[in-house]
Structures are given as structure tokens and as C-alpha cells.
Chains A and B, each alone.
Chain A
Amino acid sequence: MLTVLITIFVLAAAAPMLHRLLRGATGWALALPVVAVTAWFATLVPAVSGGEVILESRPWVPALGLDLAFRVDGWSLLFLLLIAGIGALILIYAGGYLHGHRHEGRFFGFLLLFMGSMLGLVAADNLIVMFIFWELTSFSSYLLIGFNHEETKSRAAALQALLVTGGGGLALLAGFILIGQVGGTFSFSALLENADVLRHHALYLPILLLVLAGAFTKSAQVPFHFWLPGAMAAPTPVSAYLHSATMVKAGVFLLGRFNPLLGGTDVWHTVVTGVGAATMLTGALLALPQTDLKRLLAYSTVSGLGTLTLLLGIGTTLATKAAAVFLIVHSLYKGALFMVAGAVDHETGTRDVRSLGGLFKVMPITALAAGAAALSMSGFPPLLGFISKELLYEAKLAAPSGAMLITAAGVGANILMVAVAIIVGFRPFHGARQLPAKPMHEPPLALWLGPAVLAALALVAGLFPSLVDRPLVSAAVSAIRAKETTVELKLWHGLNLVLLLSVVTVLAGVFVYFLRQRCRALAARLAPVVRFGPERGYELGLRALTAVAAGQTRLLQHGYLRGYVLTVLGVATVLAAFALVRFGPATLWIGFEDVRIHEVAIGVLVLAAALVAANARSRLAAVVALGVVGYSVALIYGLYGAPDLAVTQILVETLTLVLFVLVVVHLPQFSTLSSPRRRRWDAAFAGVAGLVITLLVLKALHVESGERVSQYFAENALRAQGRNVVNVILVDFRALDTLGEIAVLSVAALGVFALLKLRPGARKEDR
């Protein structure tokens, strides 16, 4: 598993370079290894459906209980297959869709980065590892949604998606940490062995709510659903991949994953079912009035995600089964329809359903794929969508509580979905040609291959349900329920209530389709009300956050050097005084018997130079006097056996002087800005600070603090092949610290550079 992930991430890094080499063939070339990965996942199917759980682990930071552990059970394998399989098709599709785009290579890189993160997320066994991949998916989706980064809309949508899912991610991290505290381990497999511990713990409710917050934001559940339609600003391959089959399903994955640990309680049922039902209805209602193909699909995806959440909330074996089947169905048809929408857009230049029609003659293959996908979406036999819808109704009817309510909501949402399916899958291709007769043709192979394959899969799986039920669905359901379950799917269930509901759904859906104009009119009138929805809350929140940040910056970063120095010294003095009070008073008299003459000389020199600096009437004098202080301190270091420190001090002093000389000509005339009274205050303050620090130093001479660290380092330095202890510490014992320090230093340098270069006025000469 780790090998697979590394391969994909390496491919992601290499994609831009590969693209320069392969040009138009990049999509196909990159799809090859991904197909191989899919095939490898497929070889795992027999073992996993036989009840085996494939575990893989290697230590990463053992001290923190952090292992690169992966767990492939039925539930994750189902996702792995979907992610890699659809991912390969999307890569091919993206090659066709973005053909000749300036940043095509970069796009492939982002796409693969996302794919790797998603695979890692569903395969992770260690919760922290899972969280890291979770954040990586948010991060890479930010890059993908904002791919057209020159458009304000794209950037805003990307930021919105990142903030909403990232916020949820933080909640999730908190939840995971609590789980780690309660369960004593971050390993999911280990937690599974004591599955009841979490449910019976006092912290159960916070844990549950935090994990759910993560899942709901990611899977665009009400009230966080608004980011998904916004994310349609992304190029279509992104929507087809992230917003249909993968990223938005991560929340659903999480729910299924944690069902054995957190599920089954009353809170779980109420919250998950309720939010799922609300999302299902909201999505369906908001979808119908849309006229943009992609927004139609986005809202219907919200509805589909609501359905999945609802089913996992019900949590019966039947509902879980329905969820697993619907997950496959939804990924197949929604991925296909998104790709169709992109292909239509690519060929005609519009995605507005009102101005599309009669495209069947121009692009028959795309039209056929779209039709099949739409049939699957509306639950027509013999497609897999039909089986799924039968199961949905069966599960909802058998729900332990509120069955009638849930079923009614489900039927309502599905009716609307049928109407949407007709609008998306049939409307653009049939009826009169509405577009101006510009030359149009079937999109290239790369653009129709994806939808065709996905639609064909939906058909084949519908005709031969045994292809998916035992190998995939059984294992997935077993993993969610944490007990062995066998699933058998049938196309024909006999004449019963469920079938009746299906028929009613389709008929009513067709009816609603013909009413769509009126729905749009109604929605237009309701628009002012909808504006006060959760998206408004997001905007207000964002504005408040920036306002707070600005206020805080004004308060702390006021730009007065005197204030900064006062703050730093003040805090240090108070802390030092506190330490003194705790450890008792210092010995004041240390005796001057063995003081040598040159030491006294240096001391006098430092004092004199400091006084000169404080009273200097010219800037140069002040700088030079400060330099004298610095060099004298370096002398003291040198005298007391710290040559490294002394050399460093001298060099730093020299560089500071050089920098000062460079900028001194730009500085305004030296002037005394503070009033005499203020200066007296400063002097008093400096005096107190100096006194406290002196006392602290005197005290430090007499504090015995157990074993001396220097002893250890001195003894072990030779083992590390060095005699200079300071340097050995820097580059060997504490090398990681040093690495962090130089990284921070580099970032700081870049910041300084940016500040210097981006000042107003400095910009012109830069160009």
C-alpha cells in the first residue's frame, strides 16, 4: 500500500515534466500506472471478500504511537477501487478536456496528488495518518478548484471549500485526539477490538460530534452544503472526480468507518439520520431550478450524499447494504454525467440547459452514455440504479424509527432526482437543435471514453448483480457492521410495495420535469430568502475574522520600536522575577578575590560603551558604541572558554554594522523623539530589568540542577566523531532542531525580502 502511495505521489511530482515530454499523450500515459494500481486492488478482492483484512504497518514516529499503518477491509477496498478506477478515466478525460491548456502538466500533478491523498485516507489504519491524508485531500482540492487562479470566482470558491472542509478537519483532529486519549491508541484496528469502550465513555458525545463535524463538512451536509455548488468553478474533470465519486464521499467513508466504534446509539441515529434527510431534501429542492448543467449535478450530488448519510444513520443491515450499493451506483452515474456535462460544454461552449437541445445527432456516443447514466440515476431497470433504489426503499421502509417519514422524504427527493436526470441526461440531446449551426462533432475519444465506460459498468452490474454483490458489497457491509454479512442482489424482487414506489417515483419525476419552468419561476421569487442561508453565515464569519485579525494586528503590531522593546523586556523581567521569587533570593556577594585586571577592563569598557550609546547625539556614534558592547561581550565569551560563541558574536556584530552602514544614509535625521520625562521612565524601566536579570544570573550560579547535561554531551561527542561539542550538538544530536531553525530562518528572510520589495514606491524599480 505504501509503495502504491509513494508511486502516485512521485508521479504527481513528475507530472509537469512528463507533460513537457509527452504532450498530448500525458493523460493516457499517466492513466496506465493508475490502471495497474486498480488491477492490483482488484486482485485483493477475493481475499478481502473472504473476510480477510489486509494490514500493513511500519513505524514512523514510534515514540508518539504514530505508525504508517494501513488497513484494507471491504469498506476501504470498495473506495480504493472507485478512486483508482474512476481516477484513471478522469486522467484520460482531463487530457482531452484541458488539451493545450497552459498549465495542463500542473493540473495532472494536482490530480495525482489528490488521488494519492484519497487512497491514503481510505486505507489508513492509524487515525493520525488518516487525518494527515484527510487534510491533504482538502489541500489538493483547494489547488484543483482554484486551478483557474486568475479568476476571482475560482479563488473565492477554492478558499470557501478549503475553509469549510479545513474547519471540519480541525474538529476531526480534536475528535481523533480524544479517541486516542480514551481508547489508548490511534490504531483503528486496535480500537476495533474494544469497540464498546468509546460508546460507554463520558466523552462519547464530544467525540461523536467532532467526528461528525468533520464528516458533514467534507460531505457537504446541511448546513455546510453550500461549498459544493460553489466548487463548480473548478474545471469539469475536477468536479467529475472530486465532487462526485471521491472527496465528498470521504465524509461518508468516515461515517462507515466509525460506525462500529461510534454508531448504534440514539444520538448517532437521530443526528446522522436527521442531517442526512435534511440534506437529501435540500439538495433535491435546490437542484431543480438550476439551469447550469454542473450546478444541477452539484445539488443532486448534495442530495445523493444526504441519502448515503441517512442510510448510515439508520444503520440496519439492510440500510448499510443499500448505502454500499448506492455508493457504487452514485459514483458511476454521477461521474459519467459530470464528464458528459464537460464534453457538451467543450463542444458547444455552453452548459445552460435552456439553450441546449438536439445534440444526439452530433454526438451519439456521448448521448447514449448520458442516457444510460440518467436512467441509472432515475432507477430504471435493468441498470444498477434500479436495484439500488429498490434497496433504498426497502431499507427506509424497514427503518426502526420514523420509517414513514423517512420513506416519504426519500420518495420526494427521488422524484426530484428523476426530473433532474431527465434535464441532464436527455434534455440536451433530444428535441429541436437550439444552438446556432456552428460546426460541432462528437468529442474526441478521451472525452467520451470515461462516461461510456462508467455507464456500461452501471448496465453490466445491473444485469449481472452477482458481479458486485458478493465480491464487493458483502465485504463492505461486513466492515461497516463489523460482523460477517452476506449480500445477494437481485434485479427482480417481485410485485410489492417497493416496486410500486419505484414506479410512482419515475412517473411523478416525469411529471415534475414538465413543471420545471414553473419551479424556476418560483425559485427566482424565493431567491431573496435563500440569500439568508448558511452561505451568508459563512460570509459574515469570514468578514468578522478578518476584522478581528486587523484589530489585533493594530493592537500588537503598532510599529513603535520603543513599544516592542518595552513589551519584550517587560515580559522577560516579570518571568525572571517570578523565577527569583520561587527559588529564593540570590547570593549577592560572590567575592572579587580572583578577578583579573583584564576582566575588570572589559567590564568597564562594556559599561562605558553602553552609557555612550544611550546618550549618543548621532546615529553613527550610537551604532559604534553598541558595536563596542557587542565585541566586548565576545571577548568575555572568548575568555571563558566558548570560542564558538565568541566567533559567532563577532561575526553577527560585524554583519549588523555592515547592514547599518548600508541603510544609515536612508534614515532620517537623528532626533530625540521622546520627552525627557519619558526618557526618565525608560531609564527606570531599564534599570529594573537589568537588576532582575543580574540577580537571576547570580542565582543561576548557585542552583544545582541534578545531572549536568554538558557532561553527557562531552562524553558522547567523540562517539559522534567530533571534538567540538557545540557543533556536534548542532549537526548531530539536535540536528532536527537545527533543520527546523534554518527552515524558519529562510522563511523569515523571504518575509523580510517581501517587505522590502513590496513597499509602495519600491515596486516600480523592481519591474
Chain B
Amino acid sequence: MPLQLAFSIVLLVRGHNEPGGGFIGGLVAACGIALHGIAFGIPAARRLLRVPPPMLIGTGLLIAALSGLPGLFQGQPFLTGLWGGSVPTLLAGQLKFGTPLLFDVGVYLVVAGIAVHLIFTMAEDQ
């Protein structure tokens, strides 16, 4: 399960150059948590997550929306991508920081939040 979460983050950050990205990463993370839920029960999975899933959805949306602002402040249209420096990483190659990455983090959180939220709600509904 930790492996799956780690893998989801790798997918997220390498998304810009290799197959991956926020959507896929979020789904992988959700699968991981769902697996945990099936194995140890939903309460355990909830504890593992620490925050309620709707929180993830809201935070993700907020991050995605905020990532559009830096471009706006530089006099460019909303959501214009701005890039900063980059660091080399082991699995994801050269990791560049920038607002699109931030945006992708938002997508990741929203997707993971929604999937987990649905699974939890359905699983508890018995």
C-alpha cells in the first residue's frame, strides 16, 4: 500500500514528460487506499487518511484554482504556466517546478478525494 501511494506520487510528478499525471496518480492513490480499506476495514483506512475525503476535494480545487493566479499577476491570462527551477530525481527524471505541476497536484487531490469518498461512502452503507 505505501508502495502504491509512493508510485502514485511518482506518476504525478513525472506526468509532464512521461506517461502519468494528476488524474492517473490520483486514481492509483485511491486504489491503494481502497485496498487498505478492503483489507483492514474502512475505519482503518479513514484513520490512515487522517483528513476526511471531502477535504481533499476542496483543497485540490483550491490549489488548482490558485495555481492560475501567478500568471494573472504577471499580466498574462489566468492559468498561464510559469516555470521555476528543477531538481533531478531518481524515478521521475528531471523534476521541474512550476504552476502546471501545482495544478496537477490539485487534480491529483480532487480525483483521489472523489474516488476515496465514493468508495468509503458505499462501503459504509450497509
Chain A 721-756: CB-based contact to B (< 8 A → 1; otherwise 0): 111101110111001101100110110011011001
Q: Say yes or no for A10: interface residue by CB 8 A criterion.
A: no
Q: Say yes or no for B9: interface residue by CB 8 A criterion.
A: no
> What chain A residues lie within 8 Å of B119 (beta carbons)?
655, 658-659, 662
| Contact (A731, B18) CB under 8 Å given A739-B64, A743-B61 | no
A187 to B26, CA, bound (A): 45
A739 touches B79 (CB 8 A): yes
A736 to B118, CA, bound (A): 25
Interface of A is mostly: helix
A643 to B20, CA, bound (A): 9
B31 touches A654 (CB 8 A): yes
Q: Say yes or no for A762: interface residue by CB 8 A criterion.
A: yes
CB contacts under 8 Å to B, within A605-662, are: 643-644, 647-648, 651-652, 654-655, 658-659, 661-662
Chain A 649-681: CB-based contact to B (< 8 A → 1; otherwise 0): 001101100110111011000000000000000
Q: Say yes or no for B110: interface residue by CB 8 A criterion.
A: yes
Output the nearest chain B residue to A739 by Cβ-Cβ distance: B64
A278 to B28, CA, bound (A): 67
A727 to B22, CA, bound (A): 9
Residue in contact with B81 in the complex, picked from A647, A724, A732, CB distance below 8 Å: A732
In this complex, how many residues of chain A approach chain B with their Cβ under 8 Å: the count is 41
Output the nearest chain A residue to B106 by Cβ-Cβ distance: A742
A659 to B114, CA, bound (A): 13
Q: Say yes or no for A536: interface residue by CB 8 A criterion.
A: no
A199 to B98, CA, bound (A): 53
A724 to B101, CA, bound (A): 13
A648 touches B114 (CB 8 A): no
Output the nearest chain A residue to B53 by Cβ-Cβ distance: A749
A724 touches B15 (CB 8 A): yes
Residue in contact with B24 in the complex, picked from A644, A736, A762, CB distance below 8 Å: A644
A753 to B124, CA, bound (A): 12
Residue in contact with B125 in the complex, picked from A724, A730, A756, CB distance below 8 Å: A756
Residue in contact with A731 in the complex, picked from B22, B34, B110, CB distance below 8 Å: B22
A644 to B119, CA, bound (A): 24
> What chain B residues lie within 8 Å of A736 (beta carbons)?
68, 78-79
A247 to B50, CA, bound (A): 46
A647 to B96, CA, bound (A): 23
> What chain B residues lie within 8 Å of A643 (beta carbons)?
19
> What chain A residues lie within 8 Å of B122 (beta carbons)?
659, 662-663, 756
Output the nearest chain B residue to A646 by Cβ-Cβ distance: B19
Residue in contact with A723 in the complex, picked from B18, B106, B113, CB distance below 8 Å: B18
B17 touches A723 (CB 8 A): yes
A648 touches B100 (CB 8 A): no
Q: Say yes or no for B74: interface residue by CB 8 A criterion.
A: no
Q: Say yes or no for A720: interface residue by CB 8 A criterion.
A: yes
Output the nearest chain A residue to B98 by Cβ-Cβ distance: A721
B121 touches A735 (CB 8 A): no
Q: Say yes or no for B45: interface residue by CB 8 A criterion.
A: no
Output the nearest chain B residue to A654 by Cβ-Cβ distance: B31
> What chain A residues lie within 8 Å of B64 (beta carbons)?
738-739, 742
A643 to B57, CA, bound (A): 26
> What chain B residues lie within 8 Å of A723 (beta carbons)?
16-18
Residue in contact with B15 in the complex, picked from A659, A727, A745, CB distance below 8 Å: A727
A735 to B100, CA, bound (A): 8
A752 to B115, CA, bound (A): 11
Chain B 42-82: CB-based contact to A (< 8 A → 1; otherwise 0): 00000000000010011011001100100000000011010
A736 to B65, CA, bound (A): 9
CB distance from B49 to the nearest CB of A (A): 15
> What chain A residues lie within 8 Å of B96 (beta carbons)?
721
CB distance from A718 to the nearest CB of B (A): 10
Among B98, B121, B126, residue most surrounded by chain A Cβ atoms (within 10 Å): B121
| Contact (A735, B79) CB under 8 Å given A659-B122, A756-B125 | yes
Output the nearest chain B residue to A726 by Cβ-Cβ distance: B21
| Contact (A666, B126) CB under 8 Å given A727-B20, A739-B65, A750-B54 | yes
CB distance from B27 to the nearest CB of A (A): 4
Question: What are 9 A-B contacts with C-beta separation under 8 Å?
Answer: A644-B19, A644-B20, A651-B27, A731-B22, A742-B61, A742-B64, A746-B110, A750-B57, A753-B54
